[in-house]
């Protein structure tokens, strides 16, 4: 089994069955299904950030750049009034995002700590202003995706992107795959080196590892998945907008990751769910929801020092 501990297994068997059943309860209401789809997409994004921050020790405040690029790359690459293939473009977008991450990473990874936060933020802001100021790419208003891609693979189409429920299940599957993927990475030999680098970079260099290359590979990997999440988001709503590139999104994702428990990977899902759950319920209570939200976040972080996942682990793992 690829699950590392009881808490993760427990979460796994509670979350995924519930998530699978969720649309059945919400069948009458497409709005809610699309709402939880957004949360699932966001969870993919947060998970990729969680890997970077919690597992590689690279604190970035520019991860939304890749989220936004995922959407914008599709608009830039795909012909406007033709139907394209979903899988082909998924491949393009992930590969290009990874290539961009490799270039950006060469600069970013020369720094660490607070300087890394600054430089990732600066690069992401450059990207933000490039798109929000360029008329050709829609400026402040963004661009519409008029025709959604079709999803046939070898002539078989299993689902329809325009169908809200289909799309929800597809996103859930993507989230599941991401979780499995990161678990696999972490328990591989590559993961061993990443753990070593996080814990003691100096020692790891002295053992003969070129830690720069390992960090760069991780950065590209996480960025490609971040772009994939952005691509799904753009397809769900049928438009791209510079706000996808904003640093506020990076910040929110960071909060979600910390809330869930940094470096636990599955904690990213919990963090996203709790944050978005609070967001949604408070939004309906008062227009000053951000104020309440802040109080809740402070309380949660004070209460769960190592995130929700950390708290659950301290409850469940003690007996074993």
Partner 1 sequence: MSHDIVLETEALCKYWGGIKALDNMNLAFRANSLHGIVGPNGAGKSTLLNLLCGTYEPTSGRILHNGEAIDSIKPYEFARRGIGRGFQKTNIYPSATCLENCCIAAQRRIGGNFNIFRWRHNDQLLKEIADEALQRVGLGSRRDTVAAKISYGEQRQLEIAMVLATAPSVLLLDEPMAGMGHEESQLIIDLLKNLKSDYCIVLVEHDMDAVFELSDQLTVMVNGQHLVTGTVDEVRDDVRVKEAYLGQGDEVF
φ/ψ of 303, rounded to 5, equals: -75, -45
* 76-84, 210-218, 234-242, 272-280 -> range binding partner 1 (CB under 8 A): 210-218
| Residue pair 48/229 in contact by the 8 Å Cβ criterion | yes
| Residue pair 234/45 in contact by the 8 Å Cβ criterion | no
State the nearest-atom distance from the C-beta of 178 to partner 1, in Å.
Answer: 14
Residues 212-231, interacting with partner 1 (CB under 8 A): 214, 217
Residue whose C-alpha is closest to residue 52's, from 209, 280, 225, 204: 225
92-119 in b/e form (b: 16+ CB < 10 A) is bbbebbbebbeebbeebbeeeeeebbeb
Does residue 202 bind partner 1 (CB under 8 A)?
A: yes
Task: Indicate the residue among 152 and 200 with the shorter CB distance to partner 1.
Answer: 200
Does residue 314 bind partner 1 (CB under 8 A)?
A: no
Does residue 305 bind partner 1 (CB under 8 A)?
A: no
Interface size with partner 1, residues (CB under 8 A): 25
Does residue 248 bind partner 1 (CB under 8 A)?
A: no
Question: Which residue in 157, 163, 177, 205 binds partner 1 (CB under 8 A)?
Answer: 205
Does residue 258 bind partner 1 (CB under 8 A)?
A: no
CA distances from 77 to 72, 119, 235 (A): 8, 28, 14
CA distance 67 to 230: 4
Does residue 210 bind partner 1 (CB under 8 A)?
A: yes
Residues 78-97, interacting with partner 1 (CB under 8 A): none
State the nearest-atom distance from the C-beta of 173 to partner 1, in Å.
Answer: 20
CA distance 242 to 237: 14
The residues, ordered by sequence, that sit 6+ positions from 254 with a Cβ below 8 Å of its Cβ are 49, 53, 61
Does residue 136 bind partner 1 (CB under 8 A)?
A: no
Does residue 283 bind partner 1 (CB under 8 A)?
A: no
Question: Which residue in 196, 292, 293, 316 binds partner 1 (CB under 8 A)?
Answer: 196
Task: Indicate the residue among 50 and 276 with the shorter CB distance to partner 1.
Answer: 50
CA atoms within 13 A on the CB side of 205: 7
State the nearest-atom distance from the C-beta of 112 to partner 1, in Å.
Answer: 16
Binding site for partner 1 (CB under 8 A): 184-185, 187-193, 195-196, 199-200, 202-211, 214, 217
């Amino acid at each position: 089994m690829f699950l590392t501990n009881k808490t993760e297994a427990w979460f796994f068997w509670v979350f995924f069955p519930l998530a699978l059943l969720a649309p059945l309860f919400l069948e009458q209401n497409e709005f809610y299904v699309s709402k939880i789809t957004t949360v699932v997409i966001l969870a993919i994004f947060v998970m990729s950030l969680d890997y970077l921050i919690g597992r590689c020790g690279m604190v970035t405040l520019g991860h939304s750049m890749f989220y936004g690029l995922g959407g914008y790359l599709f608009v830039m690459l795909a012909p406007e009034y033709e139907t394209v293939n979903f899988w082909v473009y998924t491949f393009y977008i992930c590969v290009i995002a990874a290539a961009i991450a490799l270039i950006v990473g060469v600069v970013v990874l020369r720094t660490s700590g607070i300087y890394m936060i600054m430089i990732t933020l600066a690069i992401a802001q450059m990207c933000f202003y490039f798109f929000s100021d360029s008329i050709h790419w829609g400026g402040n208003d963004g661009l519409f995706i008029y025709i959604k891609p079709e999803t046939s693979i070898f002539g078989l189409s299993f689902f329809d992107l325009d169908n809200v429920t289909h799309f929800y299940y597809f996103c859930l599957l993507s989230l599941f795959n991401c979780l499995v993927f990161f678990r696999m990475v972490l328990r591989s030999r590559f993961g061993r080196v990443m753990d070593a680098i996080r814990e003691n970079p100096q020692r790891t260099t002295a053992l003969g590892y070129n830690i720069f290359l390992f960090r760069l590979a991780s950065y590209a990997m996480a960025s490609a998945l971040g772009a994939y999440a952005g691509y799904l988001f753009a397809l769900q709503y049928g438009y791209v907008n510079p706000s996808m590139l904003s640093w506020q999104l990076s910040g929110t994702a960071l909060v979600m990751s910390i809330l869930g428990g940094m470096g636990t990977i599955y904690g990213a899902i919990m963090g996203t769910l709790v944050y978005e759950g609070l967001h949604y319920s408070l939004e309906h209570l008062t227009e000053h929801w951000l104020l309440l939200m802040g109080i809740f976040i402070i309380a949660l972080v004070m209460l769960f020092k190592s995130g929700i996942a950390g708290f659950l682990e301290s409850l469940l793992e003690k007996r074993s």
